[in-house]
Each structure stands twice: as C-alpha cells, then as structure tokens.
Amino acid sequence: MRWLWTLLCLSVLQAARSEDYANNTSIQLFQQYVQINTTTNNDLTPAVEFWTTQAADAGVEMTVLNFTEGYPVIVLKWPGTNSSLSSIMLNSHMDVVPASESDGWTYPPFSAYLDDEGVIWGRGTQDMKSVSIQYLEALKKLKADNVTLLRDVYMTLMPDEETGAANGMQLFVKSDEFAAMNVGLELDEGTSYALPYGAIFYQDKSPWQIQIDCYGTSTHSSQFPATNNTATGMCRNVINKFLEFRDAEYVKYQAVGILNAGNYTSVNLNKLNGGTANNIIPSHVSLVFDIRLNITINETLFEAQLNEWITEAAAGGNVTLTFLQKDAQTPATVITADNPYYTTFVSVCQQQNLTVVPLVPPGATDARYIRAAGYPAFGFSPMPNTELLLHSPNERLNATTFLTGIDIYIALIKNLANLSGDEISADPSSYIVKTAG
C-alpha cells in the first residue's frame, strides 16, 4: 500500500507543478510568442505587434527600423543612469526555420503545447524565442524591483538570422541607429547541450554556401554517352571530391567532438536538382553544399582548393561554382582575465550555480557581424541538461529550465550593466582578437 500512496503523492505533485506552469505569466508570454508563426520569409507584422504590446506594458521606448521592406528590426531601450558609458545589447532573432506536422511533430509546431511533464513544445522554443522572453522578463523584474542600471540596455530583435541576416543584422550594424546605441557588449544566442553546464560562444564559424552547376550531353536515355560527358557524371566527380574531404574532416570531428567545433570544417550536400523527364539524360544538374569553416583555415588556399576540385571533376567539361554565401572569418571575443565582461559573465553564472565553458559553435549566429564590426559578443542560451533540438522536429524546452534562465539573466544584466567606466575600456575593440585564418 505504501508504494501506491507514494505514486499517488507523486501524481498529485506532478499535476500541481504542471498547473503552476500553466498559470505562470512568464510561461504564458513565452507560449504566446512561440504561437506566432515567424517562419523565414513570413509576414512579421504579428511579431511586431506582439513586441509593441510588450514595450508598452513595460513602459519602454521601442523603435522599428525597416532597412528592407518586410524585414523589421526592433529596438527596445531600458535607459541607464549614465548614457555616456557604452551600452549592453541583448540580441535575438524573430525568425524560425520551417516546421510542418508532417515532419513527425508530436504536437503542432506552433501550438506551444505545455505537457504534463512541464515541457513546452514548439518551433523556436530553443532557437531562440525562449531567450527573447527571458531578456524581457529579466528586464521587467529589474525595473519592478527598482534596480538601478548604470549603462543603457537595449533589446534588439532581428528578422532574418536563419537566412544569413542580409536584411537585418548586416544592415543594422552599419546604421546610424546602431552607432547611436554606443554598444560595449552584445549578447546573442547560444545553444543547448545535454550536459550539466552552459556554453558561452566567443567566436562563430564562417558559413560558405556554394552552388555547383554541371552541364553535359542531353539526349534520349536509350543512348549511352561517356559518363564524363554527362551532367550527372561530372556532378558525381564533384560529389566524390567533396565527400572525400568531408570524410577526412569527419575523422577530426570524431576525435574532438562537437564541443571543439572550431577545429574542423563541416561539409554537407543539402540540395541536388536536375532532370526534366524519366527518359531524357539531363543537360544540367545542380548541387548546393553548405560548408562551415574551421576557425584557423586559410580562406584563400581553401577557395583555391575548391576551384581545383571543380576543374578536376569537370574533366574538360562545363562545371561552374557560384557562392551563395561567403562570410569572411571573423574575430574572437577575448576570454581571459583581460576582459571584465568575460570574467563578470563567468562569475555571475557560477553564483547562479551554472558552470559555463567557452566554446566555438558548430554553426554561426548574428554575433559574427557584431564582432566583425569591432564589438565583443557572447553567445549564450541558458539550457544545460537539454537535448539539442534546434531546427529539429519536436523542438522543446523544459519550463523549469526556461524560468531558471530568467533568474540567470536578471543577475547577468544587473552585473554587466553596472560595470563602471573605470572597469571597462572606452574602446570595445580592445576586447576583440583577430584569429588566424
């Protein structure tokens, strides 16, 4: 009977916990935001309206910038007591990658379903609407508690991080509005790891996306041209070259793991298109590769290697290479005692019972454009002990992890925004280091 009583008690406690989550205003706000379908290239007007309401409720100034029509950049300002000091910029992005129930979602991807275990399901729960709401709730709590902040704090929300930020961060960092913010440090997105600590990203890998077009003999498929005279044959040669390199880099990955992503170059063939009919040899086949450079690779030599592979694969035929995206290697943020932002960040997280480890992520974030402009930036999402589900079906986040993250940001914002002018250099680029590559 005792075990039955124990199970009953646990069930009651679980039900009470789930009910508490359902009635938590921060959770509810998070759910509302996830329920707005901000899939890449969608109309972001509902998201702008959501943030307009949040800014009005918080009593803070909000500006909407449109460098490109249909791609709003949102800026919310929490004034500090000394605006002559450099500010803290809390950045996130509104857009999310596509999600469809046909991909195998347990619950609809934009339902923000809260299950009986206290887990919120939905696209953007990890990447990165949770962080946006954590910023907001932390700043609201600091304001409600009359906590004085020395430096101005800005929340910025970007429209197109997932597609390369051509209409968002890339234009924003060049704008007069960004210059007027007098940024000293930017915080951006991190990621989740199923490990008992958090990652603090100090540099991003540079993405190269290339399209390779192969042109060859087109005829009735009953004919039998030499393989290297066909588009498919030349593309096979290209694929072999790239996958041989990929296999070598995969060996490096297996040796160092995802926690040392800066040490290898990832390569993936993500698109393969061609052909017009079942009985015609195609005259044109197209490949798209996504490449993330290791942080020490020589870009000039690597590009020369790509062109050499294309020449060899063409075997005298017609193969072209076009860059769809080609980001230069970007600097790193200093992660030593010489950077008070970094030492403060690590110390605060330790006080919040979260160990953070400096890492290079396997991908890239908007923070790379901030660092390239000469400003230190850290990527951080407080999601320890959480399966990495960014861009995956059944993306989800535990409610306790989400709420704990608010407390962590309260402490981080309070301490970072109250670093004195004597502690921080007036030149933000002093906390940037150019790396090899």
Sequence-distant (6+) residues with CB within 8 A of 9 are: none
- Kindly report each contact of residues 301-308 with a partner whose C-beta sits within 8 Å and lies 24 or more positions away, as own/partner: 302/265, 306/210
Tokens for 131, please give them.
């962080």
Q: What is the DSSP letter of 83?
A: T
Tokens at 316, concatenated:
């005298």
CA-closest candidate to residue 190, choices 31, 345, 37, 362 = 362
C-alpha–C-alpha distance, residues 52 and 306, integer Å: 47
Where are the strands (E) in 279-364, listed by range? 284-292, 318-326, 332-333, 356-359
Which strand (E) or helix (H) includes residue 153? strand 153-158
- Measured in residues, the chain has a length of 437
Quick count: other Cβ atoms within 10 Å of Cβ 132?
25
User: Phi, psi at residue 86, to the nearest 5°?
Assistant: -65, 150
Q: Facing residues of 212 across strands?
A: 287, 321
Distance of CA 392 to the CA centre of its chain: 13
249 catalytic? Reply is no
Q: Is 161 a catalytic residue?
A: yes
Instruction: State how far the alpha carbon of 182 is from the alpha carbons of 351, 361, 370, 427, in Å.
Output: 29, 27, 12, 10
- Among residues 95, 137, 152, 327, which one is catalytic? 95
Tell me the C-alpha to C-alpha distance, in Å, between residue 356 and each of 249, 335, 382, 419: 27, 12, 9, 20
Structure token digits, residue 220: 């009735």
List the catalytic residue out of 127, 152, 161, 188: 161
In eight-state DSSP terms, residue 106 is S
**Distance between CA atoms of 87 and 181, rounded to whole angstroms?**
7
Q: Which residues are catalytic?
A: 95, 161
